[in-house]
Amino acid sequence: MSRPKIAILIPSFNEEASIPRLLPELRALARSKAEWDFLPVFINDGSLDRTAEVLEREGAQAGDFTWIHLPVNLGIGRAVQTGLKLAVELDADVTLQLDCDGQHLPSEVPKLAASVLEQRCDVAVGSRYIAGGAGNVSSRARQAGTLYFSWLLRVLLGVRILDTTSGFRAFSREVTAFLASHYPDDYPEVQAYVFLARKRFRILEVPVQMREREHGASSITRFRSLYYMIKVTLATLLDRVRRLPTLEERTLS
């Protein structure tokens, strides 16, 4: 195999402070794994702070990453999907999703990417909850919610994923192409698994370390968590029966 191309999608909404912290870690990753080509892609989801300026400034100097400015805020789901479309365009072998806020460690990227590259799975999920994974096990409420979604996915689809709200994931080329045309809109962490399991993609949890988030708050605040759980449950149940394209259709689009 020639040099594998690894796209790292980093959805960024108001992350002016996190980007300069993340860049050195991404560069350390590129140095530590020189036999792979890494392409970090920041997706500026209509940020209201100076995220755009920071990207332009840092990018003009370095040129070892790229970025997309979305003209309006589309939300995490559509932002990631934009990155997936670019990954298809750039013909990446593996496409990862990594949070900008510092809780996902770039040094854990090779572990996830390797699982996909070595074809052990189609989707590798960075997990705090399986043996070997650790860190940032935030609130008990959040943990309970994560376990609840885990149960829901097992009952609905028979897939076993413990860290259901982890946004640290790696996708194969085929999964990337599929999700580029069919990515869930509202609650992509949990909902994406419904599509992926229904299409019989192999999902594997890989233990990773996670860090306390350095900046910004989770998109899921404790106050809204119950409301969130109800909405995700409804969306997930609907996704179970939603019309999906056939395999033939999805390669065409």
Partner 1 sequence: MTEFEWRVSVASILGSLALLTMVAELVRRNKIRERYAILWLATSLVLLVLSLKRSWLEALSHLMGIHYPPTALFLLLMAFVLLILIDYSIALTKQLTKIQKLAQDQGLLERRVRELEKAKNA
Shorter beta-carbon distance to partner 1: residue 69 or 173? 69
Size of the residue set binding partner 1 (CB under 8 A): 15
Q: Does 78 bind partner 1 (CB under 8 A)?
A: yes
Of positions 1, 2, 35, 71, contacts partner 1 by CB under 8 A: 71
Q: Which residue has the tokens 């605040």?
A: 221
User: Which class for 8: exposed (0-12), middle (13-18), buried (19 or more C-beta within 10 A)?
Assistant: buried
Least Å distance, CB 133 to partner 1, is 33
Q: Does 158 bind partner 1 (CB under 8 A)?
A: no
The 3-state DSSP class for residue 227 equals helix
Shorter beta-carbon distance to partner 1: residue 74 or 161? 74
Q: Does 81 bind partner 1 (CB under 8 A)?
A: yes
Strand partners, 95: 7, 171
Beta carbons of 90 and 194 less than 8 angstroms apart: no
Of positions 1, 72, 155, 217, contacts partner 1 by CB under 8 A: 72
The secondary structure element, H or E, covering residue 109 is: helix 109-117
Beta carbons of 11 and 82 less than 8 angstroms apart: no
Of positions 13, 38, 65, 67, contacts partner 1 by CB under 8 A: 67
Of positions 12, 51, 82, 172, contacts partner 1 by CB under 8 A: 82
Shorter beta-carbon distance to partner 1: residue 65 or 193? 65
Using alpha carbons, select from 100, 95, 80 the residue that is nearest to residue 39: 95
Shorter beta-carbon distance to partner 1: residue 75 or 133? 75
CA dist., res. 59 & res. 66, Å (int):
7
Least Å distance, CB 72 to partner 1, is 5
Type of residue numbered 181: S
Of positions 85, 213, 242, 250, contacts partner 1 by CB under 8 A: 85
Between residue 3 and residue 32, which ones bind partner 1 under the rule CB under 8 A? none
Q: Could you tell me which stretch among 11-19, 77-85, 121-129, 190-198 binds partner 1 (CB under 8 A)?
A: 77-85
Q: Does 212 bind partner 1 (CB under 8 A)?
A: no
Q: Does 181 bind partner 1 (CB under 8 A)?
A: no
Q: Could you tell me which stretch among 22-30, 63-71, 197-205, 207-215 binds partner 1 (CB under 8 A)?
A: 63-71
- CA distances in angstroms from 171 to 100, 145, 188, listed in the order given: 18, 24, 14
Q: What is the dihedral of CA 146, 136, 17, 15, to 10 degrees?
A: -10
CA dist., res. 84 & res. 9, Å (int):
8
Beta carbons of 38 and 6 less than 8 angstroms apart: yes
CA dist., res. 6 & res. 117, Å (int):
10
Shorter beta-carbon distance to partner 1: residue 86 or 194? 86
Binding site for partner 1 (CB under 8 A): 43, 66-72, 74, 78, 81-82, 85-86, 89
